[in-house]
Amino acid sequence: MVERRNAIWARYESERQTLDSTALRQLSASVAAQLRGLDMEIEAGLQDAQAQGCLGLTSGMRCDWSPERFKVLIDAEMVPRRETNFQRCLEITGNDFGAQSFVRNAGQLGISGLEGDYTTGARKLDSYIASYKRWLDGQPTIMTAWTQKIRRSFKKSDSGGFGDSDAGASYEYGAGWEFNATASHLGVCEAFDSHANAYLRARAQLFGSDNEIFYASGDATAQDKSTNTGDENVGYAVVLRVVGSDIYKSSGNYPATFSFANSKSAKQEFLKVSIPIPIMGIPITVSGSIIGSVGINAGVHGGVSPGCRFTLGSNVMPWAKVDAAVAVAVDVWFASAGISGSLTLIGAEVPVNVELAVFLDSLTSQVMFKSDAELAVTLRALDGSIKLFLDVILLDPAEVVLFEFTGSKSTMKLEEHKKVPLGLLL
């Protein structure tokens, strides 16, 4: 059976060089089926031989053929294959078969055709490994299979010196960065942590003693731990040391986002009229006014936002409106009561929003730049309300809205969106 197996494999090796892809797939399927059948026959034969005592060299039972020689042949054929399969399994599963692992919850990968638990049988596990590996081989970004984490790093260091232990000097320096990200199957960077550091040290040797003369180091970190918690933060640490004494040392950790907002406005009364009209001895005042208002609201925000994004944005909204007000009030020396109405004759708002972002496309490992700009013009007219009011000395003024009404509204919006790659994260 071993010779038959070797013959089948030799035929496959010779024919596959001359076949196209379709014929090669057919040949591979046929050969795999034949080899699988032979392997099952070999395994059954070994189990039968074991049951008969043919593989027990220390027992009194012997067969006509040499079990030791046969075992050597089988090991030579099967052990390399089993070791290859074992390494493939480690590469894809990381030996993680826990309740939350991908191999038990393949649907979390988001890969077409992979669903459910693949630990219920050897053939199911083999199909999972083969399918997942094909998907990984087709991705432009290398990632750890059992966590889908992306890791990139760079390190550089060197040292040198002159002289000897009686009189000499030496130096060393190093710098590096590391970026780790967890990505979804859609290419969305879900969480990341990054770290960069650099240092420089100078030493002097004199009559056998070795002393540090100068040392400087700097570390910086940025983390976006989860899109759900908002734990984005940045940190730093700086050390400057001369002849063993710290000259400067500082460290900190801060939220990675910021925002500022402010607004300014002004009013101008264009017209104001107040006419007292006594009716049957009761003082009644009819008043009206027209007021113009202008203002601007502005804000800036930015920092590290969920999804491994570094953003900077601003919003500016200038506005203007003209309001009319009229009131009819009954006034006595200690109180005033009546009805009032307000009407927005015309109002306009022009919001402008701009956002710039640099982010990582996890599937392509490209650093992307994105810009979004929006401009809108909103016009409103004839919004208003009718109220009852009461103002009594020594008491807080009170009012009740009888009804409100909304006039016409018109909005025009312009948008511009761009996204361009800046380069690969090497």
Residue 249 lies in a domain: yes
Residue 185's pLDDT band, with cuts at 50, 70 and 90, is very low
Mean pLDDT of the chain: 80
Nearest-angstrom CA–CA distance, 325 and 341: 6
Q: Which one-letter amino acid corresponds to residue 225? A: K
246 and 278 in one domain?
no
pTM (predicted TM-score): 0.45
* Among candidate residues 91, 109, 144, the one where a domain is terminated: 144
Q: Which one-letter amino acid corresponds to residue 160? A: G
Query: In 209-346, where does DSSP find H-type helix?
Result: none
413 and 266 in one domain?
yes
**Residue 188 is part of a domain; what is its CATH number?**
2.20.50
Residue 360 lies in a domain: yes
Beta carbons within 8 Å of 1's beta carbon, 6+ residues apart? 38, 41, 42, 45
Look at residue 69 and tell me whether its pLDDT is greater than 80.
no
Q: Picking from 120-129, 261-270, 302-311, 320-329, which range would have the lowest pLDDT averaged per residue? A: 302-311
The strand order across the sheet containing 209-224 reads: 143-144, 149-163, 167-183, 189-206, 209-224, 232-242, 245-255
Tell me the β-bridge partners of 321.
293, 347
75 and 63 in one domain?
yes
250 and 296 in one domain?
no
Which pLDDT score is estimated for 229? 47
116 and 22 in one domain?
yes
Q: Strand 366-381 relative to strand 408-424: parallel, antiparallel, unpaired?
A: antiparallel
**Cβ 203 vs Cβ 213: under 8 Å:** yes
Average pLDDT over residues 264-270: 86
340 and 305 in one domain?
yes
Look at residue 309 and tell me whether its pLDDT is greater than 70.
no
> Which runs of E-coded beta strand occur in 135-256?
143-144, 149-163, 167-183, 189-206, 209-224, 232-242, 245-255
Residue 72 lies in a domain: yes
The pair phi, psi for residue 44, each rounded to 5°, is -65, -40
Look at residue 266 and tell me whether its pLDDT is greater than 50.
yes
* Among candidate residues 255, 281, 314, the one where a domain is terminated: 255
Residue 149 lies in a domain: no
pLDDT in tens, 391-407: 888 788 888 888 888 88
Q: Which domain holds residue 133?
A: 2-144
Total domains, the chain? 3
The first and second tokens of residue 327, run together, are: 């009131």
* Among candidate residues 144, 175, 198, the one where a domain is terminated: 144
Look at residue 106 and tell me whether its pLDDT is greater than 80.
yes
Nearest-angstrom CA–CA distance, 425 and 362: 10
342 and 214 in one domain?
no
Q: Which of 43-47, 71-75, 77-81 is predicted most confidently?
A: 43-47
Which pLDDT score is estimated for 350? 86
Which pLDDT score is estimated for 68? 67
Residue 398 lies in a domain: yes
308 and 188 in one domain?
no
Average pLDDT over residues 298-315: 74
298 and 353 in one domain?
yes
The first and second tokens of residue 296, run together, are: 């601007």
Look at residue 140 and tell me whether its pLDDT is greater than 70.
no
Which pLDDT score is estimated for 291? 92
96 and 15 in one domain?
yes
284 and 213 in one domain?
no
Look at residue 58 and tell me whether its pLDDT is greater than 80.
no
164 and 116 in one domain?
no
Could you give the percent of the chain with pLDDT greater than 90?
A: 3
